């Protein structure tokens, strides 16, 4: 424990059915010089106790028990306790392949990277044992300058490599020197990563995929109805525009990615208000959809976005027409597919 290279940080909440598989995958890592700081965030189930069981058997594991404050609070608590040269953030319901920490650490040392980004899998389960696996990656690359990374970043955003923390290794000194912490908001991953890459100089990219993100947990954060989802997506769009202004990047490829990303998330917001979990009246749903498709941000996005698939082009037709009725009908159709055929929905989303 006197030579910790990587501090693994893990918020733990209500994951007793998944946490053992997660911890086992960490213990099975070929790289051994790590510590795990598991933060039991007031979990009502046995998650915290299971972590205690593992800590009793492995001195590299430390468990912090605290009152519920959300994942950002749990992660920030662990950051202050971390001793490793690098930080790695893991979700307690996922798992990683054995070579992940070693390969990422070796890449960081070889390139003196402040950030290492790797590929990953999205495993969408449609039964207890069957799942659809989607892979995300780009060719390995060591960025020689800040400008080179910024000009290439649109490809990494497009491949969903810059949104999450668990496919990355962060230099702890860089995080601490720049006082970067997780913001107290849901979907806290994205603003944290934006703060990290805003002025970063040295980035390395690994093509190989290691991490398995488990989607389709009915109680996961990404599966919940959010009354403020649209406002959140508007905020995130503003952050992206601000980032690229700060970078001084305004090429056609980057601009197209930003607006296509936004309009795809507007479609997600439309589905959010048409699914069965939404408590709004039909009139209120129509008003919300009308607000979304007639907004200045949406109309601007439609000018620049170039959908990659025929399906997405078709989905944007009602939005381009400003038809609340057809857009609402489309949202209901997406909701039915999402709830009734998880496998099909995962495939369509992966190839949108």
Averaged confidence pLDDT in the chain: 93
pLDDT band at 218; cut points 50, 70, 90:
very low
Q: Which of 80-94, 137-151, 220-234, 249-263 has the lowest mean pLDDT?
A: 220-234
The reported pLDDT for the residue numbered 58 is 97
Distance, CA of 264 to CA of 307 (rounded, Å): 9
Stretch 81-103: mean pLDDT, rounded?
97
pLDDT of residue 164: 95
Cα(278)–Cα(272) distance, integer angstroms: 7
**pLDDT tops 60 at residue 217:** no
pTM given for the model: 0.91
At 348 the pLDDT is 61
> Model confidence at 253, in pLDDT bands (50, 70, 90)?
very high
Q: In this structure, what DSSP letter does residue 291 have? A: H
Please give the DSSP secondary-structure letter assigned to residue 165: S
Residue 350 has pLDDT above 80, yes or no: no
Digit-coded pLDDT (tens) for 60-73: 999 999 999 999 99
* Lowest-confidence segment of 17-31, 96-110, 212-226 by average pLDDT: 212-226
* Count of CA atoms in the C-beta half-sphere (13 A) of 217: 16
d(CA 136, CA 120) in angstroms, rounded, equals: 5
Ordered domains of the chain (ranges, CATH): 6-221 (3.90.550.10), 225-350 (no CATH)
Name the pLDDT band for 292 (thresholds 50, 70, 90): very high
Q: Looking at the predicted structure, is the pLDDT value of residue 216 above 80? A: no
Asked if residue 128 has pLDDT above 90, the reply is no
User: Is the separation of the CB atoms in 240 and 198 below 8 Å?
Assistant: no
Rounded to 5°, angle at Cα 242 from 184 and 306:
110
From residue 295, how far is each of 236, 288, 302, 307, 312 by CA, in Å? 16, 11, 11, 19, 19
User: Is the pLDDT score of 20 beyond 50?
Assistant: yes
The pLDDT of 230-242, averaged and rounded, is: 96
Q: Does the pLDDT value for residue 220 go beyond 70?
A: no
Task: Please report, for residues 70, 83, 169, 300, the alpha-carbon distance to residue 196 in angstroms, rounded to integers and kept in the order given.
Answer: 21, 19, 11, 28
């Amino acid at each position: 424990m006197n030579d910790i290279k990587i501090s693994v940080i893990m918020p733990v909440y209500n994951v007793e059915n998944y946490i053992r598989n997660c911890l086992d995958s960490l213990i099975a890592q070929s790289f051994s010089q790590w510590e795990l700081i598991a933060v039991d965030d007031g979990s009502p189930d046995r998650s915290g106790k299971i972590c205690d069981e593992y800590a009793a058997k492995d001195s590299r594991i430390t468990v912090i028990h605290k009152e519920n404050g959300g994942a950002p609070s749990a992660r920030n608590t662990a950051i202050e306790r971390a001793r490793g040269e690098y930080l790695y953030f893991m979700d307690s319901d996922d798992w990683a392949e054995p070579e992940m920490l070693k390969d990422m650490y070796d890449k960081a040392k070889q390139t003196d990277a402040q950030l290492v980004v790797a590929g990953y899998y999205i495993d969408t389960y449609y039964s207890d044992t069957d799942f659809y696996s989607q892979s995300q990656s780009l060719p390995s690359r060591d960025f020689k300058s800040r400008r080179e990374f910024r000009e290439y970043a649109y490809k990494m955003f497009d491949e969903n490599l810059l949104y999450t923390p668990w496919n990355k290794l962060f230099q702890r000194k860089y995080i601490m020197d720049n006082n970067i912490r997780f913001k107290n908001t849901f979907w806290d991953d994205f603003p944290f990563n934006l703060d990290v890459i805003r002025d970063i100089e040295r980035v390395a990219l690994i093509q190989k995929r290691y991490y398995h993100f488990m989607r389709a947990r009915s109680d996961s954060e990404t599966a919940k109805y959010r009354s403020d989802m649209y406002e959140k997506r508007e905020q995130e769009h503003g952050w992206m525009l601000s980032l690229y202004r700060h970078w001084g990047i305004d090429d056609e490829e980057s601009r197209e990615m930003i607006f296509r990303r936004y309009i795809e998330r507007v479609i997600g917001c439309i589905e959010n208000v048409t699914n069965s979990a939404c408590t709004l009246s039909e009139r209120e749903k129509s008003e919300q959809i009308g607000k979304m498709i007639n907004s200045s941000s949406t109309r601007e996005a439609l000018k620049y976005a170039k959908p990659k698939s025929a399906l997405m082009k078709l989905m944007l037709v009602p939005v381009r027409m400003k038809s609340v009725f057809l857009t609402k009908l489309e949202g209901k159709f997406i909701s039915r597919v999402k709830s009734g055929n998880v496998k099909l929905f995962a495939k369509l989303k992966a190839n949108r």
